[in-house]
Structure 1
């Protein structure tokens, strides 16, 4: 995302860090799950002939790079942050555990979660839903490049319609691709609502949290 299709785009990173810091300033405990697609996507590596489990492992390493960059950017905003990785690499960041994440959240830190679930074959979306359930989150926010859930990819299908609100069951039944089925199902089982919004606009996270702006709500 941002001006560069690959690697880190510092203005975008700074904007996201500022938005996350703004959300924390509202009194919200913030845990953010980062992907690694700007460096490497496991599924894309598998398409190029790399064994899927190994490709996903490479993708997990990419998420750690993003987590460390985001941790730094948040701290540059004057807000304390802590990166935790499901793939242990203690010389770089703290290993993930539920207790550690809850401890840092309780201290007012923004927790940046890397390494996916720590296992291959699971998407970042599923990892986010899993962490949301583990940490007893009240809400999952899915940051995308479009302003909500659509019936099809609006960049490819001009006839795609946007949903203001729908249920987890409806999202699964319609095979809406904004998140994978496993993520929707896990959120449904734990009755966690999902807000899908565009991260492109500065302040988008706070706006959505306060019920402003354009987004779609997926609820039980």
Structure 2
């Protein structure tokens, strides 16, 4: 199996490297090279970046901020990460476009679904910024929503140092079992912390597969685009782990 169009979900922490916060240029450059390898397979790639390396809306809300304002700050953080990834990709010859759900024409195009699809058809990497443009929604939900809108074949959830979905936290439980594949129904009933439930339900209802894998191992993004089974695959089909 080979995917023609994928949505790659990058967490903000994955762009921070060992420093855990902010944007690490070396790490972003490495991610860009991995994405280029995936583009070279002929796959159309869209990206949703998280913003947790810069700001989390929940942190602001816990500090007493209005939750909507705190979430809008988080959306701006995702645009900052998106621009960093764009710069790293274009430095190695990969054409990109950043599309923002919040209008900021000086730095990004406004998000229009048809425009995003056209960019993908022309071989450009499309980076979605500013989440859904609405507070109270995570970038996981953004990834599921955009994947459905552009009719992506799969969501690739690239984790830093996490090689799949486990029955429990493997750092705390030595008997934790890693799943090769699992259904969305089981993810919901077992309350596995992969994505928030809104995102999981969107994927389930729109029959979008989800692949969770370790991006720290060079070449895994390209392998995932080519349909090589790495990590854990979540789908609406029969469980087979």
Q: Which runs of 5+ in 2 are unaligned?
A: 1-13, 237-241
Contact 1:29 1:110 in 2 (8 A): yes
Moved more, 42-51 or 161-170: 42-51
Q: Deviations over 1:84-134 (max 9, x none)?
A: 111111111111110110111011000011111110111111100000000
Q: Does 1:64 align with 2:57?
A: no
Instruction: Pick the aligned partner of 2:201 from 185, 189, 203.
Output: 185
SS of 2:173's partner is coil
TM-score (norm 2): 0.88
Instruction: Pick the aligned partner of 1:138 from 149, 153, 162.
Output: 153
SS of 1:30's partner is strand
Q: Does 1:35 align with 2:33?
A: no
Q: Does 1:208 align with 2:224?
A: yes
Alignment of 1:1-220 (within 5 A): 1=14, 2-145=17-160, 146-212=162-228, 214-220=230-236
Q: Measure, in 2, the Cα distance between the counterparts of 1:103 and 1:4.
A: 37
Q: Measure, in 1, the Cα distance between the counterparts of 2:172 and 2:55.
A: 23
Q: Measure, in 2, the Cα distance between the counterparts of 1:101 and 1:156.
A: 42
Greater length-normalized contact order (CA 8 Å, ≥ 6 residues apart): 2
Report the count of equivalent residues: 220
Q: Measure, in 1, the Cα distance between the counterparts of 2:174 and 2:139.
A: 27
Which contiguous aligned blocks of 4+ residues in structure 1 show a shift greater than 4 angstroms? none
CA-based RMSD of the aligned residues comes to 1.3
Q: Which runs of 5+ in 1 are unaligned?
A: none
Contact 1:67 1:113 in 2 (8 A): yes
* Alpha-carbon distance, 1:25 to partner: 1.0
TM-score (norm 1): 0.96
Contact 2:207 2:235 in 1 (8 A): yes
* Alpha-carbon distance, 1:210 to partner: 3.0
Contact 2:41 2:226 in 1 (8 A): no
Q: Measure, in 2, the Cα distance between the counterparts of 1:45 and 1:154.
A: 30
SS of 1:3's partner is helix
Q: Measure, in 1, the Cα distance between the counterparts of 2:27 and 2:229.
A: 19
Q: Deviations over 1:33-85 (max 9, x none)?
A: 01111100111221222121111100000000000110010111211011111
Contact 2:43 2:225 in 1 (8 A): no
SS of 2:19's partner is coil
Equivalent residue, structure 1, for 2:3 = none
